[in-house]
């Protein structure tokens, strides 16, 4: 089963002479349970694809389907029970005056859950924090702990597809591996599908089954991570990325 299908996606900002084409005719699909990576330099359009899927980039054309359901320009509430996003910066993605309990509790309430107290406790356990963090505020947490809360918030509606926008790039190197291992475990435990943006080929090689290489808004190559590890990129730009990472 295909969880996500992107077909000839174009995303732009501005109009007329000010128009910038951020994504041009991008096409790829992600199978249920797969982890798929988008890699490329900054400004290549990787994160813009995630924003188009979630509705944060409203000017787009083409076709987006999630679990076989075409997605229009307006997202139904049910969409966000299926698709959630983890943002790059854990410092900016949490309200500074809301406790962890409020962040998770309000998300659960918004999605219509009733057994909120029990679910908050389960979510904190799932991301390796536990009850002692429940009534802390973001300023009392480390970067890695904040990102764990952000992941717990994304898991709250029980989605099947997680969009990961460079989820470790704003963290200290010492905790990046912990978060990546957590995401790997959660994918296995909850049967999740991942679409992950990263500029780090080693991260994608560790986390993903396949990847698309982007350059100037276009997908130049789709390959398996086995091909990535064995240095079998076909496109010249992909080969340059590999050489630079080595």
Hey, what CATH topology would domain 2-245 get?
A: Rossmann fold (3.40.50)
pLDDT of residue 170: 82
Q: Given pLDDT bands bounded at 50, 70 and 90, which one contains residue 242?
A: confident
Q: Given pLDDT bands bounded at 50, 70 and 90, which one contains residue 245?
A: confident
pLDDT of residue 169: 87
Place of tokens 């029970």: 81
pLDDT tens digits for range 16-65? 999 999 999 999 999 999 999 999 999 999 999 999 999 999 999 999 99
CB 24, CB 10: distance < 8 Å: yes
pLDDT of residue 150: 96
pLDDT tens digits for range 139-170? 999 999 999 999 999 999 999 999 999 999 88
CB 77, CB 159: distance < 8 Å: no
pTM for the model stands at 0.95
pLDDT tens digits for range 188-222? 999 999 999 998 898 999 999 999 999 999 999 99
pLDDT tens digits for range 56-114? 999 999 999 999 999 999 998 899 999 999 998 878 889 999 999 999 999 999 999 99
pLDDT tens digits for range 122-135? 999 999 999 999 99
pLDDT of residue 217: 97
């Amino acid at each position: 089963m295909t969880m996500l299908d992107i077909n000839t996606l174009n995303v732009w900002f501005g109009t007329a002479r000010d128009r910038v084409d951020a994504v041009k005719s991008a096409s790829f699909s992600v199978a249920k349970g797969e982890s798929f990576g988008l890699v490329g330099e900054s400004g290549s359009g990787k994160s813009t694809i995630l924003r188009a899927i979630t509705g944060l980039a409203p000017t787009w054309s083409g076709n987006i389907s999630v679990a076989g359901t075409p997605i229009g320009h307006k997202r139904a509430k049910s969409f966000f029970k299926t698709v959630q996003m983890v943002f790059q910066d854990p410092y900016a993605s949490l309200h500074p005056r809301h406790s962890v309990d409020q962040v998770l509790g309000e998300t659960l309430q918004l999605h219509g859950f009733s057994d909120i107290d029990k679910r908050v406790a389960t979510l904190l356990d799932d991301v390796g924090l536990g009850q002692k963090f429940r009534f802390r505020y973001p300023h009392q947490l480390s970067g890695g702990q904040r990102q764990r809360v952000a992941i717990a918030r994304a898991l709250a509606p029980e989605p099947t597809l997680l969009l990961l926008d460079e989820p470790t790039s704003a963290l200290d190197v010492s905790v990046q591996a912990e978060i990546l291992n957590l995401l790997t475990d959660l994918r296995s435990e909850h049967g999740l599908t991942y679409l992950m943006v990263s500029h780090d080929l080693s991260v994608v090689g560790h986390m993903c089954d396949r990847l698309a290489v982007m350059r100037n808004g276009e997908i130049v190559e789709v390959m398996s991570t086995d091909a990535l590890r064995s240095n079998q990129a076909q496109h010249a730009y992909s080969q340059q990325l590999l050489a630079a990472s080595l």
